[in-house]
């Protein structure tokens, strides 16, 4: 699933391509909104909120979420698409650009005055201009018995952190994902490091949490099961963690460096 930095970059690129221009094509390929046509309306902006994308067009907002497989592409007219047409869920074009949302996990259109209802449940946006670490800390520490690995991934706590960052930040903090929040010695420091790490990657195409862009060395633990820890050499382990079977996600950790 794309992380908040990926969505942030997508929103920035889409905004540069569309903002201020009039839509010439609006083709939404989901049954509930297939008859919606905003062509002729002017695009005000495209923004990200956590992992959500909001196209503000005329008096409406097109909301999309990439989920596991989604992506937005930008093409010049006549350019061959890099993914098959049957995966396209949204086509929004202006005079000199064609933007295509492929395999979008969510796609809906709401009046602008209802836009806030789409994202009001989210915690502070870690890449937002209004990032509020104090509110993030309040939400993170609200349940002392919850595993830190679940709390850190919860978009109601911090919007924008995904599974890559969850695993990497907990390694950097020396914390097992299963440790209860109440036993985390410096939750404010964990939040501050989360912000620093994702901010450092916000403008990168290739994400790294180690500072090393060589293959196999870009992350400390994520997807490195059975490989030696880059710090101590202990084999990295893999497990799962979730509130239930539907929410279980992979966790990666070093049993020596994390406790």
Active-site amino acid positions: 2-3, 51, 249
3-state secondary structure (DSSP) of residue 103: coil
In the chain, the DSSP E strands lie at 25-28, 43-49, 52-57, 60-65, 71-75, 88-94, 97-102, 106-111, 237-241, 249-253
3-state secondary structure (DSSP) of residue 115: helix
Tokens at 24, concatenated:
């010439």
Contact 52, 32 (CB under 8 A): no
For the CA atoms of 117, 55, 61, 125, what is the dihedral angle to 10 degrees?
A: 10
3-state secondary structure (DSSP) of residue 124: coil
């Amino acid at each position: 699933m794309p992380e908040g930095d990926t969505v942030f970059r997508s929103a920035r690129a889409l905004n540069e391509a569309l903002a201020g221009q009039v839509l010439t094509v609006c083709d939404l390929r989901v049954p509930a909104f297939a008859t919606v046509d905003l062509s002729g309306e002017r695009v005000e902006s495209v923004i990200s909120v956590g992992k959500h994308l909001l196209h503000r067009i005329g008096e409406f907002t097109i909301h999309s979420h990439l989920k596991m497989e989604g992506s937005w592409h930008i093409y010049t007219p006549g350019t061959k698409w890099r993914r098959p047409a049957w995966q396209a869920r949204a086509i929004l074009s202006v005079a000199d650009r064609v933007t295509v949302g492929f395999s979008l996990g969510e796609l809906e259109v709401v009046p602008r005055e209802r836009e806030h209802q789409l994202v009001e449940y989210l915690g502070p946006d870690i890449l937002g201009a209004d990032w509020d670490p104090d509110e993030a800390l309040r939400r993170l520490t609200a349940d002392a018995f919850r595993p830190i690995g679940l709390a850190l991934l919860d978009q109601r706590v911090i919007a924008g952190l995904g599974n890559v960052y969850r695993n990497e930040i907990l390694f950097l903090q020396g914390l097992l994902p299963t440790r209860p929040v109440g036993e985390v010695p410096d939750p404010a420091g964990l939040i501050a490091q989360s912000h620093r790490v994702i901010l450092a990657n916000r403008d990168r195409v290739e994400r790294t949490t180690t500072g090393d862009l060589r293959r196999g060395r870009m992350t400390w633990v994520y997807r490195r099961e059975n490989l030696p820890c880059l710090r101590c050499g202990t084999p990295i382990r893999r497990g799962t963690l979730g509130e239930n079977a539907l929410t279980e996600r992979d966790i990666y950790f070093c049993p020596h460096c994390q406790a």
